[in-house]
Structure 1
Amino acid sequence: MNGFSWAAFGQGIGGAAAAALAVMLVTFAVAVAKGVHRIVDIAWGLAFTAVAVVSYAVSADGGGDGARRLLVTVLTIVWGLRLAGHIAARGWGHGEDARYEAMLDKAPGNRNLYALRTVYLLQGVLVVLVSLPVQAAQYVTGPLGPVAYAGCALWLVGLVFEAVGDRQLARFKADPANRGRLMDQGLWGWTRHPNYFGDFCVWWGLFLIVCDDPVVAAATVAGPLVMSLLLINGSGKRLLERHMANRPGFAEYTARTSGFLPLPPRKRAG
């Protein structure tokens, strides 16, 4: 294992948890003041950024390879800030998200405290769990190998899918002629969720950066697995498609377009 320090890694998890909790609590305070809990979506990317920065700082004397530490930190920051900026711009000037409104309407008691328990604190826990490979990479002592470089390439594929898919959707929605229509152009003609597929690639790419040490990889594989479950069966693809199921043309769109992995569009029926 090339001298991987499990004790230092364990202490670093504590710092990562503190960073994620701080971001979520500050966001909660702002949300309560504004009366809009949708801003927690912005905190998702910011919390990962904070975890990466704190993990890099507290691991300075942990013996990890300097190039790997800097690489995984920068890649996480770039992804997190891009995502947070995109969500902030998308939600600017809008009221509460319909998903959170429906959830809070069922709150047994104080709506804000219910949101704190079921959204903010839960997301903080998920951030710490998903980012385990980023935290562990700070302590891997060996030099970057071919698998780590493959991880960088996969990360780049994911970031391109996210950024291009988000940009294409924003331009489509900005055109009044597309009002009431489903986006099925560009990357959205190859997969119904290019942004979620991009997230999937980003986090499996970051995981590959620790795979030069197979024992550490086995101990942190829960991170990308949890992210994959969230994207495909949790609050990502499944929830969004349930919300869109009754929209005109959605059934036809699903019939010709891959649900997750990018594939050439199937021929239209008839």
Structure 2
Amino acid sequence: MPAAVAFAATAIILSLAMTTAWAAVTRGAKSGWVDTTWSFLVGAAGVALALAPIRDWPADPARQRLVAALAAAWSLRLGLHIALRTARGADDPRYATLRREWGAGWRGELFRFLQIQAAAALLLAGAIFLAARNPTPGLAWTDAAGIVIVLAAIAGEGIADAQLARFRKEPSNRGRICDAGLWGLSRHPNYFFQWLGWTGYAAIAIGTGGDYPWGWAALAGPVFMYWILVHASGIPPLEAHMLRERGEAYRAYQRRVNAFWPGRPRSD
């Protein structure tokens, strides 16, 4: 199978799947199912491209399986977390913010937004593909580094999500800002670790000598995730929501704690 055919087929499937998610939301489904769908799609597309029999694109089978396993682990953890959170009643406030901004034409805007998400999923699946297709025979220290980075990212994101869930379950914390654990080092530690994982695929793709030209293109993964999380659909709408809900308490939290990069909290 030529690589162009594999990517074209993946693009069509991603677009159709996000169209299905759009149809569900416009008929009343919670917006959290959009992110659930997207998380599973990125992992599924990455695994499929990593393992697909691509003509004229040599790869080490052990590296292919390794990268596919990492992508599947990340996708399943995140997708199941969002699915359970959505099923229990919680929804993502970012979509409510976007819907208010879009106004009467929100359905058309949402459709375009989710097609952009489908394109983003293809880009990220491409980064997984490039890591899996590093043709260097045998596993090297960069593969080990990539494994450590991705697993640390999965663990860190899981810990951050668990800490926030525990904080919200405590009745005495109702209306308060979570600044416990990792949330005292970053206002969005889950986003930080989500970004970090994509640097692991880049490390595997580039390899020890950096002589696999396509490997450098895998840096598009962490670059894109940083932009989308920090400057686009991640932090900005979520923080706007929190400022409306918590007001001065959240402004104080913003003054104390970094938005993205973990660091020592400042005195308010």
Q: TM-score, normalised by structure 1?
A: 0.86
Match of 1:3 in 2: none
Distance 2:193 2:91 in 1: 26
- The letter of the residue matching 1:155 is V
Alignment of 1:89-238 (within 5 A): 89-94=84-89, 97-105=92-100, 107=102, 111-118=106-113, 120-142=114-136, 143-212=138-207, 213-238=211-236
Give the conservation status (yes or no) of the 8 Å contact 1:69–1:138. Answer: yes
Distance 1:260 1:96 in 2: 22
| Structure 1 residues 220 and 103: alpha-carbon distance in aligned structure 2, compared to 1, 3 A threshold | same
| Structure 1 residues 106 and 177: alpha-carbon distance in aligned structure 2, compared to 1, 3 A threshold | closer
| Structure 1 residues 232 and 17: alpha-carbon distance in aligned structure 2, compared to 1, 3 A threshold | same
| Structure 1 residues 90 and 35: alpha-carbon distance in aligned structure 2, compared to 1, 3 A threshold | closer
Distance 1:98 1:201 in 2: 24
Give the conservation status (yes or no) of the 8 Å contact 1:191–1:263. Answer: yes
1:54 matches 2:52: no
Distance 2:260 2:35 in 1: 21
**CA deviation string 1:99-144 (max 9, x = no partner):** 33443355576643442222x2110001111222211233322132
- The letter of the residue matching 2:217 is A
- The letter of the residue matching 2:174 is R
Match of 2:22 in 1: 28
Q: RMSD of the alignment, in Å?
A: 2.4
**CA deviation string 1:18-53 (max 9, x = no partner):** 332243233234334444333111112111122023
- The letter of the residue matching 1:177 is S
Q: Percent identity?
A: 30
Give the conservation status (yes or no) of the 8 Å contact 1:20–1:50. Answer: no
Residue in structure 2 matching 1:243, options 228, 241, 244: 241
Give the conservation status (yes or no) of the 8 Å contact 1:64–1:137. Answer: no
Query: Larger deviation: 146-155 or 245-254?
Result: 245-254
Give the conservation status (yes or no) of the 8 Å contact 1:59–1:139. Answer: no
Q: CA deviation at 1:259?
A: 2.2
Secondary structure of the structure 1 residue equivalent to 2:15: helix
Query: Larger deviation: 192-201 or 13-22?
Result: 13-22
Alignment length, in residue pairs?
Answer: 261
| Structure 1 residues 154 and 57: alpha-carbon distance in aligned structure 2, compared to 1, 3 A threshold | closer
| Structure 1 residues 188 and 57: alpha-carbon distance in aligned structure 2, compared to 1, 3 A threshold | same
| Structure 1 residues 221 and 121: alpha-carbon distance in aligned structure 2, compared to 1, 3 A threshold | same
Match of 1:263 in 2: 263
Give the conservation status (yes or no) of the 8 Å contact 1:15–1:54. Answer: no
- The letter of the residue matching 1:261 is W
1:44 matches 2:42: no
Distance 1:114 1:255 in 2: 33
Distance 2:253 2:94 in 1: 23
Secondary structure of the structure 2 residue equivalent to 1:131: helix
Q: CA deviation at 1:79?
A: 0.7
| Structure 1 residues 110 and 264: alpha-carbon distance in aligned structure 2, compared to 1, 3 A threshold | closer
Q: TM-score, normalised by structure 2?
A: 0.86
Give the conservation status (yes or no) of the 8 Å contact 1:9–1:136. Answer: no
Q: CA deviation at 1:66?
A: 0.7
Structure 2 unpaired stretches of 5+: none
